[in-house]
Structure 1
Amino acid sequence: MSVTSITDKNKYLLWVKSGGRCQYRGCNKSLTQDILTKRNFNQAYIAHIVADVPRGPRGDTTRSPLLADDINNLMLLCDTHHRLIDKADVAGHPEPLLLEMKKEHEKRIETVTAIDQDRQSHILTYKANVGVFTPELSYQTVSQYLQPDYFPAMADTIDLSLSNSVQRDRDAAFWSTEVANLEAQFNKKLLQNFAKGEIKHLSIFAFAPIPLLVKLGTLVNDIYKGQVYQKVRTPDTWKLDDDKTEVKYTVVEPANNSKIVALNISLSGGITDDRITSVLGDECDIYTIKIDTPFNDYLKSKRHLEDFSVIIRQLFNKIKTEYGATTPLHIFPAMPIATAVELGRVWMPKADMPLFLYDQNTANGGFTKAIEILNS
C-alpha cells in the first residue's frame, strides 16, 4: 500500500491526463460513475508504477523515493486493475509495460480532447445479412476509427438495420423488406434531425449486399457531409489511410447502338460481359469500369475512394447524355463497401437515370435484379 502523500497538484493533473478513466490497456472504465446506479462518486485508485517503497511492487532502493510523487510514475486505475498490477499479477506487469499503457492512454485522451467542437460526427451503422454471414457493428467496435479527424457526437450509433431478420439475400422477399425498413428508419432517425440542423456530419459504417449499400448512399446523398468507412481485411481495420498512391480506374465504352445500357463494375472481382447479356440479352450496350487487377482488398486509401467518386460521376453524366435521363441504367457490381455507398451518394435523384441494381447469388443461378431506384 502506498505510504506517500501525493500532492494535490499531481492528483488533479493525473485525473486530467487520464480523462477520469482507467488507464489499464483495454479497460477505459469511467471512474466517476457507477454503471448500474448511475450515481457519481470517485472510484479511482492512484497506483505507483515503481512503488513508493523499495519492497513494494516494482520497488527500487534508489528510485522509489525519487519517483514517489512523480506524475510520470502514477497511473489512475479502477479497483480491479489496481489489485491486478499490485497484488494478483505483479510479475506480469513490469515497469515498461505499465509505462507503455500510461503513454498510450494519455496520448489518446490528448488526441480526442484536442479535436475542435465542429469535428463531432454522428455514427451511422447499417447491416444486413450477406449470404450466411450476419455482420456485427457496434459503437464499441467502430467509434475508435473516427479519431483523430472526428469524435463521436454521442455514445451510441444511429442504427438503420432490420433487427433479427431471418431472410437472406437469396430470398425473393429479402430486398423489398430491407428497402422498406431502410427507408423507414432513415426517415425516422435522420431526416428530421438533418432538417433541424442537429446532425452536422455522418461517419458511415455499413456491411450489406451491394444493392442495399447503393440504396443507403442514395438516401444519405452528397448533400449531407459524411465520411464512408471501408472494412479492410489486411490490416484489419475500418479506416482508409492517407496514402496518395494512385489506383488507375479504366472505363471501357461500347459502340452505343442499343436501347438497353448496362454498367459493369469490376473492382473487387471481374465480371465478364456474357454474365450480363445472359440476363439482359445480346442487344445491350455495356460500359465497364475496372482496375488492372480486381481484388477484394484493393481499396485502402481515401484517395482511391475520392478518385472513384469522380470517375463514377463523370460516367453517369456521359451515359445520361448518350441514352437520356429516363433510360434505366442496369448496374452489375463487384465492388467494395465504401464505393457502393459512394456511388449512391453521387447519384442525383432529380437529374440522373433510374438505377436497376443486380445481385450475384449462386443459389439463384447468377445475377438477378434486386432493387430499382427511380429518379424523381
Structure 2
Amino acid sequence: MAGKVRDTHISRSAIKESVRLAVWARSAGRCTICNRRVLGDVRTFLHSVAAAELAHNVGATSSSASPRADAAVPDMDRESEENLLLVCHDCHRIIDHEEHVRFFPPEKLRELKQAHERRIEMATARGQLTRTAVIRVGSKIRGAYSIASQKEVAETLFALNYLGLVESQWSGDFTCSITGNTGGKGFWQAGEQQIDDTLSRVRQAIEQGDVEHISVFPFAPIPLLVYLGSRLDDKTTTRIFQKHRGQGAGWSWAEDGRAVEFATDLVESRRSDTEVVLVCEMSSPVNPENLPADIRELPRRVLRPVAQVPSPVLIDSEQSLTNFASAWRTLLAEVESAYPRATRWHVVASVPVSVAVELGRAFMRDAQPPVTVYERSDAGYMAVLDVNI
C-alpha cells in the first residue's frame, strides 16, 4: 500500500525564528546603534548569555503605545527582517523612550541599520579588513589635554582597510589617559603605571588570542612614549600613527611624503667605558650646552637626518619612520660593540611622537644596559625616568 504524501507545513513561529536569526547574522552579533557586542559578554559556567534584543523600526503593532506606530507599513510586514534591528538593552530603551523617539524616526533607524550591515559585510567579505586593537595614549601637551578621537581613529583605520574591533570581551579600544602635569610630583612614575596598566590589558587580550594586530595613536611627553615603546609586545604586529600638522591634517601617513634617511655622528669627549649619550635630532637640534653637566662630556652618538634640517614636520611618511627604526637599531648595535662594558645609556631625543615610540621598541632588556631618558625644560634637559630595566 502506497504511503501517503504528508503536507509540509512551516509554522508561523518557525518563520519568525528564521527571520530573527537572519537579523542576527546580518548584524554579526553587534548592536546596530552603538556596535557593542551583544553575545558572549556575560558568561556562565555553561555557556555565553545573549545580551541582545530585537527592536522594531516601525512599531510592532499599530497601537499608539507602540513607538513609530504611525509610519506607513502593512501590518504583515512589521515582523519582517527589514523592520527589525538587533540592539543592546540600553539602545533599545533610548530609541523607544517617549522623550527620545522623535530623534529616531524610521528613516534614521533604517539608515543606521544599512550602514551597520554594510560595515559588517565589508569586514567579512573575503577578509578584506585587518582586525586591529587600538592603543590611544593621551596627556597634557603644552597645558592642553590631547588624545586621538574615536572618529579620527576610525577614519584613519578604514582608509587603510583596518577594522578597529575585536570579537571578545575587549572593546578593541585600549585607552591610556595620563593625568597631571610634567612638573607635578610623581608625574613620571604615575605615567609609567598608567601605561603598564593599559598594556597589561592588551597582553591579556593577546594571550587569549583576541588581538593579533595593534595600532598605536600616541599623544604624550617623549620620555613616556619611549617607555611605552619599550613595553610593547615585540611579537605582535604593531603599526604606529602620528598626528600631522597643518589645517585638515589627520593621523594618516602621507602617501607621497618624502623618505628621509638618517646617519650617525660620533662625538668623543672624555673617554668612558661605562656610560654613553645617545642623541636623536629630528624635530630640532639638541644643543650640547643644554645637557646636564654630568653627561655633557661623555662619549656621544648623534642620529640626525641626511641633507635635511631637523623640523617638527620632518617625518610625514611611514617610510621615514621605517628608515629611522633601521638606523636607530644599527646605532645601538654599534654602541654595544664599541662599549661592551657600558652600564648605562643616556637618551636625549627631540623627535615626533611616532619616533619616540619606535625609539623605545628597539631596546632589549636582556642584552643592553638600563637607559635614562631626558625631558626638555626651560633649564635644559633633565633625567626623568629609566627604561630597559
TM-score norm. by structure 1 comes to: 0.68
After superposition, the Cα gap between the structure-2 partners of 1:256 and 1:279, relative to the gap in structure 1 and judged at 3 Å, is closer
Choose the corresponding residue for 2:182, options 152, 169, 180: 169
User: Are 1:265 and 2:280 counterparts?
Assistant: yes
Task: Look up the match of 2:263.
Answer: 250
Matched positions, count: 299
The one-letter amino acid paired with 1:133 is: A
- State the distance in 1 between where 2:143 and 2:163 align: 33
* RMSD (Å), alpha carbons: 3.8
Choose the corresponding residue for 2:340, options 307, 317, 324: 324
Matching of residues 1-376 of structure 1 within 5 Å: 30=32, 39-43=53-57, 114=125, 116=127, 119-147=130-158, 148-154=160-166, 156-162=172-178, 165=179, 167-187=180-200, 189-234=201-246, 235-243=248-256, 245-255=258-268, 258-259=271-272, 260-276=275-291, 278-291=292-305, 292-324=308-340, 326-362=342-378, 365-375=379-389
Tell whether the 8 Å contact from 2:132 to 2:172 is kept in structure 1 after alignment: no
| Larger Rg computed on CA atoms | 2
The one-letter amino acid paired with 1:40 is: L
Question: Once the 2 structures are TM-superposed, how far is the Cα of residue 227 of structure 1 from its aligned partner?
Answer: 0.4
Question: Once the 2 structures are TM-superposed, how far is the Cα of residue 348 of structure 1 from its aligned partner?
Answer: 1.4
Give CA-to-partner distance per residue, 1:251-278, whole Å, 9 cap, x none.
Answer: 11123752231111110111122222x4
Moved more, 234-243 or 292-301: 234-243
Tell whether the 8 Å contact from 1:138 to 1:157 is kept in structure 2 after alignment: no
- State the distance in 1 between where 2:334 and 2:35 align: 58
After superposition, the Cα gap between the structure-2 partners of 1:263 and 1:31, relative to the gap in structure 1 and judged at 3 Å, is closer
Q: Which sections of structure 2, spanning at least 5 residues, go unmatched?
A: 1-22, 37-50, 59-100, 109-114
After superposition, the Cα gap between the structure-2 partners of 1:220 and 1:281, relative to the gap in structure 1 and judged at 3 Å, is closer
TM-score norm. by structure 2 comes to: 0.66
Question: Once the 2 structures are TM-superposed, how far is the Cα of residue 192 of structure 1 from its aligned partner?
Answer: 2.4
- State the distance in 1 between where 2:330 and 2:354 align: 18
Task: Look up the match of 1:101.
Answer: none
Percentage of pairs with the same residue: 22
Moved more, 227-236 or 305-314: 227-236
* Higher strand proportion (structure 1 or 2): 2
Give CA-to-partner distance per residue, 1:26-66, whole Å, 9 cap, x none.
Answer: xxx947999xx97433538xxxxxxxxxxxxxxxxxxxxxx
Tell whether the 8 Å contact from 1:355 to 1:373 is kept in structure 2 after alignment: yes
Question: Once the 2 structures are TM-superposed, how far is the Cα of residue 337 of structure 1 from its aligned partner?
Answer: 0.7
Give CA-to-partner distance per residue, 1:152-191, whole Å, 9 cap, x none.
Answer: 12455111324xx3x211224111111122223322x122
Tell whether the 8 Å contact from 2:259 to 2:320 is kept in structure 1 after alignment: yes
Tell whether the 8 Å contact from 1:32 to 1:40 is kept in structure 2 after alignment: no
Question: Once the 2 structures are TM-superposed, how far is the Cα of residue 279 of structure 1 from its aligned partner?
Answer: 3.7
After superposition, the Cα gap between the structure-2 partners of 1:206 and 1:244, relative to the gap in structure 1 and judged at 3 Å, is closer
Secondary structure of 2:142's aligned partner: coil
- State the distance in 2 between where 1:114 and 1:361 align: 52
Give CA-to-partner distance per residue, 1:346-374, whole Å, 9 cap, x none.
Answer: 21121123211000122xx2211111113
After superposition, the Cα gap between the structure-2 partners of 1:31 and 1:266, relative to the gap in structure 1 and judged at 3 Å, is closer
The one-letter amino acid paired with 1:275 is: N
Q: Which sections of structure 1, spanning at least 5 residues, go unmatched?
A: 1-15, 21-28, 45-77, 86-103
